[in-house]
A and B are shown apart, each in its own frame.
Chain A
Amino acid sequence: MTAWGLQVDALDVARWQFGVTTVYHFLFVPLTIGLSVLVAILQTLWHRTGNEKYLKLTKFYGKLFLINFAMGVVTGIVQEFQFGMNWSDYSRFVGDIFGAPLAIEALVAFFLESTFIGLWIFGWDRLPKRLHLAAIWAAAIGTNLSAYFILAANSFMQNPVGYRINPETGRAELTDFLAVLTNKVALVTFPHTIAGAFLVAGSLLVAVALWHLIRNRDSADTPAYRFAATFGSWVTLVATAGVVVTGDIQGKIMTEVQPMKMAAAEGLYTTESPASFSVLTVGSLDGSRELFAIKIPYLLSWLGTGDPNGTVHGINDLQAQYAAQYGAGSYTPIIPVTYWSFRFMIAFGLAAAAIALLVLWSQRKGRTPTSRWLLRAGLVMPLLPLVANSFGWIFTEMGRQPWIVFGEMLTRDGVSRSVSLTEVLTSFTAFTLIYATLAVIEVKLLLRYAKAGVPDVSPATEIDDSHDDAERPLAFAY
């Protein structure tokens, strides 16, 4: 089909749909991962100290967590179905390996997460305090566990291990499940992703607390917000350190197992030893030639290999090598996309850390932050690591192209043959519309509840003596 002068086929639309739905899903996942643990920590602090400010913060951030959580859950089902619906030949090819972590994720992690989140939401007055606290921890553990299994599945696509190709069926078969679960890409991607998630969650804590601190200087809840701003800043800084350290290890593993992705991250066309890191390169429009560049010598060699004089392979050499190995064709990702998404990931992620430092500085020696500039910076703060997370995924998935499973199957060979262009255009349009609508609703609700501030938790308002115990209203109801 030709639309707007472009040739569009079902494969293109299926790819766009996967990209859009995945990036969208992952706008909610980092907050679910990070905030579940942070809320659990806040509730633990209340449990240990009895200080009401922690209970207020638990309920306040818990509400924001749940508004976000619902979106993560419903957009997640689409992800599981989409492999079969749009990528059925891929599913047939890798099902023996790829299905197992998905099934285990559901059985081991999703049940834990969703059952205990229900207990936590509705259990305030029905569970003993200690058990109620355990419920949020169980949900948080379930959430974080789920990340491991899905990342192990994704890592198989980046660096297939623990399998063989059955010569009769042409399919990949599992030979070593432990190898799949301990794929070195998975082992480093997991902490990188979790750290990235905490970067978002910490930033959200700071942004909301800072808004209340600056707008409402003499509020009785100032101590609660001060704590949240400081705690969130530290979480952001520690998470940044985690992202940087794991990202560095990832770079070295990537140079080894997916050298083309590393070269594509850098727009490095010719093999260099030592290789310099490009801070900014402006290339020709087709991305094949460089026009202007700022570079740091030796840095790329050091990042990629741990040796300042190490060899980093260039795109042109790898392309020639793959063409010889896998047959004629392009094995190069879209360089401007990989190059810029890699840089945006780093820049946006680090910007959040810079703001966290400013927030800590503004509160030094018991001061209360007053700066309007800091307020504005704080408001954009959670968006920065969120965007960084999106660019990280765009980079790692686009950098894998043209492969769906590196070295084994091309993305174009994985698409469902029985799904027509009309069908996939229908689904892509439907998902885009419903996702866009829900995004507007979700953001408005988050802002509404963030502005409302910490709730009143004094018990006097909740007990009504006119009813006997059996008729007392629930502590929480939908």
Chain B
Amino acid sequence: MELTTIWFLLVAVLFTGYFILEGFDFGVGMLLPVLGRDDRERRVLINTIGPVWDGNEVWLITAGGAMFAAFPEWYATLFSGFYLPLLLILLALIARGVAFEYRHKRPEPSWKRRWDAAIFFGSLVPAVLWGVAFANILRGVPLDAEHEYVGGLLDLLNPYALLGGATTAALFLTHGAVFIALKTVGEVRERAGALAVRLGVGAAVLAVAFLTWTLGIRSSTAAVVLAVAAALALLGGLAAARVRREGWAFTGTAVAIGLAVATLFAALFPNVLPSTLDAAGTLTASNAASTPYTLKIMTWVAVVFTPIVLAYQGWTYWVFRKRIGVAHIPQH
């Protein structure tokens, strides 16, 4: 396999991992005001992701770094072209990250309310905008022959991209609800389990519509297979959620999100950022790539360190595997 293909796959894997992991973090954040009826319940929700959210976010930093190292043209064009959406994502991630750490540091309800709002909007904004961004990557954007983005903000807010944003938000909400049902006990668990099914139906409708539209724009056999598998996984997850088999439900939504992201990358390949104007402006895995020497070094680094990272991150989830409820929340 060519090195550029390997790195296309690795970037795809990193974003897939990011959306599976931070997907439920975002879901928990968006469900905070819905499922947490008082302060202790909200603390239960936040603590389901407390030990892991930061490690989950590093998947994004690594995906960004891998894109920069392996496909500098892609990184440069995408990040400068999607300037304002990325700015909003950054501001949201800043507010949200600080909120987790600072919320419990003072007892005043007004203090907590403000950080709750930061967690809610800090989760909602990226949950929507990542969908908008990836839909636009797939649809293609106006690039000139030098691969420079020549569109405006409104070019990014087309109906297909907005559907993409709604889809990721709905998927992450479902994924988050399923995760909460898996990680909590008591009333919160019950409410999350019931809500997961209702959210999941909406998410399934949106996801099927979005993936169908996607395959209409560009497609490949692999993409079709992955899309069908994603839909089946989501349905399986929802069926499990309905009978409150929480472990299977979570597996289902995690696999569905992973396969949906994989569908986008499979449909995109070998392009990485198609141009809607001049065909010469289209960025592909080969014309956006670094030199083989750089890719070779990065491959070795990835081969050695990725399994280590997966092992200790997986172990963290094992350490914090126990469900929590309001009884576990200390007074201070």
Contacts and interface: CB of A to CB of B under 8 A. Distances in A.
Give me the 8 closest cross-chain CB pairs, A-B, nearest first. A95-B72, A84-B79, A99-B69, A103-B65, A99-B68, A70-B101, A88-B76, A88-B80
A85 interface: yes
Given A99-B70, A477-B43, 19 more contacts: A71-B98, A73-B54, A84-B76, A84-B78, A97-B294, A103-B298, A104-B301, A107-B66, A108-B305, A118-B51, A121-B50, A175-B293, A177-B297, A427-B83, A427-B84, A438-B98, A473-B327, A473-B328, A475-B330
Contact of A100 (B69, B100, B150, B329): B69
Contacts of B301: 103-104, 107-108
A92 B101 contact: no
B260 interface: no
Contacts of A110: 58, 61-62
A106 B55 CA distance: 11
A423 interface: yes
28 contacts: A70-B98, A77-B90, A80-B61, A80-B64, A80-B65, A84-B64, A88-B77, A95-B76, A97-B294, A99-B294, A104-B301, A106-B65, A106-B66, A107-B65, A111-B58, A114-B55, A114-B58, A115-B58, A118-B50, A123-B51, A177-B294, A418-B150, A427-B84, A430-B87, A434-B91, A434-B95, A473-B331, A474-B329
A123 B68 contact: no
A278 interface: no
Nearest to B321: A126
Nearest to B47: A477
Given A84-B80, A103-B69, A430 B91 contact: yes
Interface string A417-456: 1110001001100110010001001000100110000000
Contacts of A478: 43, 46-47, 50, 100-101, 103-104
B290 A91 contact: no
B291 A174 contact: yes
B130 to A, nearest CB: 13
Contacts of A69: 101
B144 to A, nearest CB: 9
Instruction: Indicate the size class of the contact surface on chain B.
Output: 35 or more
Contact of B94 (A105, A126, A419, A434): A434
B222 interface: no
Contacts of A70: 97-98, 100-102
B79 A473 contact: no
B290 to A, nearest CB: 4
Interface of A: 66-67, 69-71, 73-78, 80-81, 83-86, 88-89, 91-92, 94-100, 102-108, 110-112, 114-119, 121-123, 126-127, 173-175, 177, 416-419, 423, 426-427, 430-431, 434, 438, 441, 445, 448-449, 467, 471-478
B77 to A, nearest CB: 7
Most A CB within 10 A of own CB, among B51, B97, B324? B51
Interface in B271-320: 290-291, 293-294, 297-298, 301-302, 305-306, 309, 312-313, 316, 319-320
B75 interface: yes
B22 interface: no
What does DSSP make chain B's interface, helix, strand, loop or mixed? Answer: helix
A269 B81 CA distance: 43
A423 B305 CA distance: 38
Interface of B: 43, 46-47, 50-55, 57-58, 60-62, 64-73, 75-81, 83-84, 86-87, 90-91, 93-95, 97-98, 100-106, 148-150, 290-291, 293-294, 297-298, 301-302, 305-306, 309, 312-313, 316, 319-320, 324-325, 327-331
Contacts of A103: 62, 65-66, 68-70, 298, 301
A67 B106 CA distance: 12
Nearest to A455: B332
A77 B324 CA distance: 30
B63 to A, nearest CB: 8
B223 to A, nearest CB: 27
B328 A477 contact: yes
Given A117-B54, A419-B80, A81 B64 contact: yes
A417 B148 contact: yes
A65 to B, nearest CB: 11
A193 B52 CA distance: 29
Given A118-B52, A438-B98, A74 B68 contact: no
A139 to B, nearest CB: 11
A177 B293 CA distance: 9
Contact of B327 (A77, A419, A471): A471
A99 B65 contact: yes
Contacts of B72: 91-92, 94-96, 99
A115 B319 CA distance: 12
A284 to B, nearest CB: 40
A122 B330 contact: no
Contacts of B77: 88
Contact of A472 (B47, B81, B328): B328
Contacts of B62: 103, 106-107, 110-111
B50 A126 contact: no
A85 B293 contact: no
Contacts of B80: 84-86, 88, 416-419
A478 B9 CA distance: 36
B278 to A, nearest CB: 15
Contact of A426 (B84, B104, B148, B331): B84
Nearest to A122: B51
Nearest to B77: A88
Given A86-B80, A177-B297, A478-B104, A118 B316 contact: yes
B330 A477 contact: yes
A155 B205 CA distance: 51
